[in-house]
Amino acid sequence: MNQLRWTSGRSAVLVVMLCLGSLTGRAEAQDREEFQLWSALLGTAATTPETPGLSFWLDVHGRRAGNGTVVIVRPAVGASITPWLSVWAGYAWVPVFDDATSNRTDEHRIWQQVILAPKLPELGLSFQSRTRFEQRFGENGDDVGFRLRQFVRANWQPDESFPMGVAVWDEIFIGLNDTDWGAPKGFDQNRLFIGPFLKLSPWARLEAGYLYVVVNRDSGDLTAHTLAINLFWSFTPSAPPPAAE
């Protein structure tokens, strides 16, 4: 009988400990939901109107979140293979400024990408598919984080003479390995955007709208309701006039 009581008591203690451990785990992994503000300048410059040809890329971002600010500076060089196909390789510097500690943590990335950009002008539609492969380096560890990003976009402009339209895009991030500095393996995050755009000129476009961001972390998922404002510019030199006979 005493043995039975001791065994039952031990089982009860074990159940209580497991429950407390489960509650503690849930308390430590708390999901967050917040408003963020993102802005970006994204530009490309071609060296020739013909394809194939050499092109340059630069995008600069400022992202204000609830606990800090993220800046991204991302230059690249690429080649336009056809009017709808290009390949790129570049570098990204990503400093993160933490409000609580006033510290800055730097991440460095090397990246490569392929862009497909078909158009259906008779329907006022343009599409883009961008597949990017990143090699990420964190200053708090020695591992290299490998990440795959898939981006798809659709722009609709009712008429070429009408300067406004609507943009919808989505991008998913997949980590290919774990690192000793916190980059996760598996689903990392997803970003879904919808909003209007305004063509300021043949080479400049302003886009603003709602960006829904979901970030997966062991410490708790983050859902961000984001106002995103982006200015795009694209420079292509004009073709030389035909030679006079």
Query: Poorest-confidence range of 13-22, 50-59, 172-181, 198-207?
Result: 13-22
Residues 6 and 86 in one domain: no
Residues 132 and 225 in one domain: yes
Domain with residue 220: its CATH number is 2.40.160
What's the CA gap between 241 and 21, in Å, rounded? 75
Look at residue 220 and tell me whether its pLDDT is greater than 50.
Answer: yes
Structural domain includes residue 245 = no
Residues 129 and 174 in one domain: yes
Residues 81 and 3 in one domain: no
Residue 242's alpha-carbon distances to 52, 86, 235, in angstroms, are 20, 27, 21
Assess whether the previous peptide bond of 237 is cis (omega < 30° from 0): no
Residue among 206, 214, 129 nearest 173 (CA): 214
What's the CA gap between 136 and 112, in Å, rounded? 12
Structural domain includes residue 221 = yes
| pTM for the full predicted model | 0.85
Residues 21 and 63 in one domain: no
Look at residue 235 and tell me whether its pLDDT is greater than 60.
Answer: yes
Residues 142 and 75 in one domain: yes
To the nearest 10°, the Cα dihedral for 11, 13, 14, 15?
90
Structural domain includes residue 139 = yes
| pLDDT computed for residue 16 by the predictor | 42
Structural domain includes residue 244 = no
Residues 50 and 115 in one domain: yes
Residues 44 and 91 in one domain: yes
Residues 117 and 9 in one domain: no
Between 22 and 115, the higher pLDDT residue: 115
Residues 39 and 152 in one domain: yes
| pLDDT computed for residue 184 by the predictor | 85
Between 113 and 184, the higher pLDDT residue: 113
Residues 7 and 73 in one domain: no
Residues 74 and 162 in one domain: yes
Please state the rounded mean pLDDT for residues 117-142. Answer: 95
Structural domain includes residue 98 = yes
Please state the rounded mean pLDDT for residues 177-196. Answer: 94
Residue pLDDT, tens place only, 136-173: 999 888 999 999 999 999 999 999 889 999 999 999 99
Arithmetic mean of pLDDT over the chain? 89
| Per-residue confidence band for 238, with pLDDT thresholds at 50, 70 and 90 | confident
User: Residue 167 burial (CB < 10 Å; 0-12/13-18/19+)?
Assistant: buried
| pLDDT computed for residue 35 by the predictor | 97
Please state the rounded mean pLDDT for residues 70-79. Answer: 98
Query: Poorest-confidence range of 41-55, 85-99, 145-159, 226-240?
Result: 226-240
Q: Which amino acid is at 202?
A: P
Look at residue 20 and tell me whether its pLDDT is greater than 90.
Answer: no
Sign of CA dihedral 29, 34, 37, 43: positive
In the chain, the number of structural domains is 2
Structural domain includes residue 242 = no
Asked if 52 and 86 count as a contact pair (C-beta separation under 8 A), the reply is no
Domain limits for position 19: 1-30
Q: Which amino acid is at 122?
A: E
Q: Which residue has the tokens 């991440």?
A: 107
Task: Tally helices (H) and strands (E) across the chain.
Answer: 1, 12
Structural domain includes residue 240 = no
